[in-house]
Amino acid sequence: MHTLAQLKSGELAGITRLKIAENLTSFPMEILTLADSLEILDLTDNQLNSLPDELTQLTKLKIIFASNNRFETLPQVLGECENLEMIGFKANKINYVPEDSLPPKLRWLILTDNELEALPSSLGERPKLQKLALAGNRLTSLPQSMSQLHNLQLLRISANQLTECPEQLLDLPQLAWFAFAGNPFCQCDLHSQTVPEIASQSYTLKEVLGQGASGVISKAVWNESQDAFPNEVAVKVFKGEITSDGYPEDELQACLKLGYHPNLVKSLAQVNEPNYLALIMELIPAHYRNLGLPPCLDSCTRDTFTPGFTLTIAQIEKIVAEMSDVFEHLHNNQVCHGDLYAHNTLFDEQANIIFGDFGAASMYHMLTKPQQDKIKQIEHRALVHFIDDMLSLCPPEDRHSDAYQALKQRIA
């Protein structure tokens, strides 16, 4: 984090990344003094509602974040920034995206949690676009031109007002991670009873185990002894708000619809109370660890891994076999996970996996058979990428084995 005082004093000359959050109501023109170096500009958590035309002077600017501000229109000047690749304007009040506000090299666009009712047709004329996050808006339809987004790999359109399944998206050749729950076209009144409902007063939350966009997971103990459940459990308390992936209620119902699978986090009970939604799960054994790391700004949609991390071909074979079985279980139950990644996967030394994080999950049993088949095909691409990532972790001495070649054939 930097300060306005540092900027004005000249102390930040030559930096490539600038982050200022000081309740700014106007764009600090001193930022333009960084034109020769600035690549990433982060103005998140301010009170801005416009950007100056002079922004184009930042000729090296590749990324701009301006989430949690007061923008009502996506600034047109962004479309004139020739090298701008990533735009993040989450949680503003944007209701209008001008046709010419999208830069030609756009690769990543985040407009989650705004007030959009429509998008410009120019969106489909950005051939480099790989990642598009539109959850939590008021969109009633999507531009037909989006059928031209042949490089789009990750798409979030959950929690909108789309009345018809956007067919123009289902044939996109690279789309692999797709979240669409919480729209009228896939409305579902399903209230799964695969696990019992319990009261939130029946347990006490202890230390936090982890958290994501949709909720916080904590260890919990029962206030009175329970015969039906383990003594210690994990409880995910949903935040009760729209996330980058959609509504927490859709995540919960997709989770419960799947029932039991040995490689999924096991659900034990649910809590459905006013302003309190929670999922009680088995504690994951402490020896499990994350298989991958989330994508970075450069990799965009692909997972990253700890430098030097490798897996034997035997481990990879087992991990791929178990994830393939999870994939079939998902789609036999007509649930699209939407986030099939190594970073949502835990593994142990025996290469057993536990797969979780259903924040982007979408149920699709209400769609037509051709639409269902295409949804499965979309997620199959994510499985192919997963296998490819696993093979990238294989040491050179294992790359001549029959098992390695067989897996290479699966992704050819």
Q: Which amino acid is at 382?
A: A
Give 383's DSSP letter: H
Nearest to residue 303, comparing CAs of 154, 81, 404?
154
CA–chain centroid gap for 270, Å, is 24
Query: Is residue 258 helix, strand or coil?
Result: helix
Question: And the tokens for 36?
Answer: 């020769």
Q: Are 329 and 379 spatial neighbours (Cβ–Cβ below 8 Å)?
A: no
Distance between CA atoms of residues 151 and 271, nearest Å: 40
Q: Are 152 and 130 spatial neighbours (Cβ–Cβ below 8 Å)?
A: yes
**Cα Rg of the chain (Å, integer):** 23
Query: Is residue 268 helix, strand or coil?
Result: strand
Nearest to residue 17, comparing CAs of 37, 42, 40, 45?
40
Question: And the tokens for 13?
Answer: 């000359």
Distance between CA atoms of residues 163 and 160, nearest Å: 9
Q: With 0-12 CB in 10 A as exposed, 13-18 as middle and 19+ as buried, what is 312? A: middle
62 carries a ligand binding annotation: no
- Residue 361 sits at the vertex; the CA angle it makes with 379 and 347, to the nearest 5 degrees, is 75
Strands of 54-118 (E only): list them: 63-65, 86-88, 108-110
Distance between CA atoms of residues 269 and 275, nearest Å: 17
Binding residues: 236
Binding residues for ATP: 236
